[in-house]
Structure 1
Amino acid sequence: MQKQDPYEALRFREFNIFLLVRFFLVFGWSMQFIVIEWQVYSITKDPWSLGLIGLMEVIPAVLMALFAGHIVDQREKRSLLATCIALFSLISLGLFLITSPAIVESWSQHEILYSVYGLVFFGGILRSFFGPTIFSLIALIVPKKAYPNAATWSSSTWQAATILGPAFAGFTIDWIGVHWSLCIIFGLVVLSFMILFLIPKKPILNPNIGEDIWKSLREGIDFVKNEKVILGALTLDMIAVLFGGAVALLPVFAQDILEVGSQGFGFLRAAPAVGAVLTMVITAYIPITKNAGKKLLAAIFGFGICIIVFGLSTIFWISLIALFFSGMVDGVSMVIRQTILQLRTPDEMRGRVSSVNSIFVGSSNELGAFESGLTAKLMGTVTAVVFGGTMTLLTVFATGFFNKPLRELDLTEDVRRQSLEES
């Protein structure tokens, strides 16, 4: 058996440039979400307002997702990503401006709050394009045999950015305030935009350019529906993220339950990503393609346990450890899911399949934030988090029992076949 090269994808120059772009972009995006959460909760002191942030982003993301996937499959990927980043920089600039001293003094709190929600809404539209574009671009800059390794490094980069972004946001809120933290975010987005142009334009692999949009959308949905492994993995992760979205309530835990302030908030927010990136670095050396289905189920079960422990804890270090281990097991599920999608999705359908993925998983982060805010309002914060973890455990049992193809999934043969096709 050939030994796995842990740096296989990193041996391609364009992939390294892509990772740099993704790091700066996600670092800025995750910083921005944290700063917005902090500012909104500081204004309202209501967990429901945190749920509304998720709702404002998830509505356009879900409504636009399938259309975005069609457009991504029809367009050149590098240029489309550049357009998305440029538009995102305008949103970051808008948030920077509405938190300036002049605006804060002349506008009411409701006007500022509604403006934040409005910019988040437009960010949700862009979010529907980012996922499919990035997913499709990876497939154009590394060979198929390197997809599992590329998925590991891409996810690790994303997680590394979500480690440093929230932690840095927590510190910058304390050091320089919300307004100048948003200025840093704007600069990071502009930097990612400039670096992206080091990657040349890529060919469009879809043979059906100009295809009727409704036919195109049906093909994407039918493909996911008929691929039981993909459908099962997406459904499982969606429900786990939806009900296990405790991170949306971290401002409440940091300010009112654990009482650790903005710096503690930054550490809490970064803890899951620290665990996830550690796991992903390990998986670069130790492949997890063998018995991938069982490993996926075990990872999400562990995630549910960690969320319950976090919800019940009133001690900062226990909460921190619970979130850290939730990130470790979540890292396993993320790498497996991305590998499944990369290996089993045809090139001409990557945009549409990734869009369905964003509806199932990506948007469930924001919908999970809304669910957490709603249940916290109805049940109380601690009860809402424990309820979410319990629902995650029940979902794992149900999926493992009813979806045999996913439970028995082994990706070793898929990787071997791709290697033979390209050798």
Structure 2
Amino acid sequence: MRLSRFFMPILKENPKEAEIVSHRLMLRSGMVRQQSAGIYTWLPLGKRVLDKVNAIIREEQNRSGAVELLMPTLQSAELWQESGRYDAYGKEMLRIKDRQDRPMLYGPTNEEMITDVFRSFIKSYRNLPLNLYHIQLKFRDEIRPRFGTMRSREFLMKDAYSFDLDREGAVHAYNRMFTAYLRTFSRMGLRAIPMRADTGPIGGDLSHEFIILADTGESEVFCHKDFLDFPIPAEDIDFNDAGALREVFDKWTSRYAATSEMHDESAFEAVADTDRVAARGIEVGHIFYFGTKYSEAMGAKVQGPDGKEHAVHMGSYGIGPTRLVPAIIEASHDENGIIWPDAIAPFGAVIVNMKSGDAACDEASESIYRALSKADLDPLYDDTDDRAGTKFATADLIGVPKQVVVGPRSVANGEVEIKDRKTGARETLTIEAAINRLTQAG
């Protein structure tokens, strides 16, 4: 992509409405634009990052055995009245009526609707286990939306829902998602700590939040230091092996870990002083097992091997991609801008032509751009007429991991410079060697 043809409205000044780093950097870099309180347009740069986050989430959900579908954002109030949550959910639910005066709502979550889908088609235990997921916009009418897309009213959510014959099967489904979540966040360059959590209005008796450490996080985190360095399950882990997944769960939960909402002071005090971590963090995922709460209320039953009807055991599993993006920025930035992990960077490299219009610089930049594009590295070529200092500032602000600096002096020697955005390390290479280095790394 040539920057001269890309829509990336950079702001020179810090937006006054931005209270935290991620909100400021997302506005300044032209990732998002606020349309109204808690509602944002994702501009092309932000959409690129969001798409990569969604792709990793989707791959790990599919790997775990979950099956994707897409449910509507508008839901019938009747389903929520069946479950008993329509009146209990509170003012966060946006209630509306259609032209026939039928009560509707803009879905804040989908337990009721997925239960309705399930009961319409599944009648036998032979069709279990089943896990269905989608990535869809949700709406919760936050009384005080803040921090940009970190806490917005409209947001994107990956929500999955598992169905099993009994608690044993449901716990295995829970451990599948627990393992998949560890892999998902790790692939994005994050260390997400699973914390015991309250089930809230979702219901049930088993729940974990996945939290990444960040100074601006809303949650207080208390854990054993081992949580910062446990191994991540391998790509080839067998998601059908209940014992292996239980081992993953036990390994991660055998040390004390909790948020402020579920803080057991005596348990934390039992951890040796040298092993304690007390910090702040941001929730990026939440998983629940809630048994038969919805299946009993809504008649989602299957015939078991004993010939009798059984209410299925369910769980739900959420990741908020539009929350995850700013959370990553909170955990990975410096005074100059964003530092994206390689896997979710909007571009594979940015080519900085220090002197657009100079024949040698233009020729070298074009050849590098063609080579990186051919190698599917998806480079951004800054071919604008801006000054070199402005181009460097833009490259740092948008956080692309590798910068290729093309200047008259280096090009005269057949060389360019590669800068690592995270470390600041610079290396001068021949043009051919620079292309090889970047394409092999990509």
TM-score, normalised relative to structure 1:
0.27
Point out the structure with max Rg over C-alpha. Answer: 2
Which structure's residues are more often strand, by fraction?
2
TM-score, normalised relative to structure 2:
0.26
Which structure's residues are more often helix, by fraction?
1
Higher relative contact order by CA 8 Å / sep ≥ 6: 1 or 2? Answer: 1
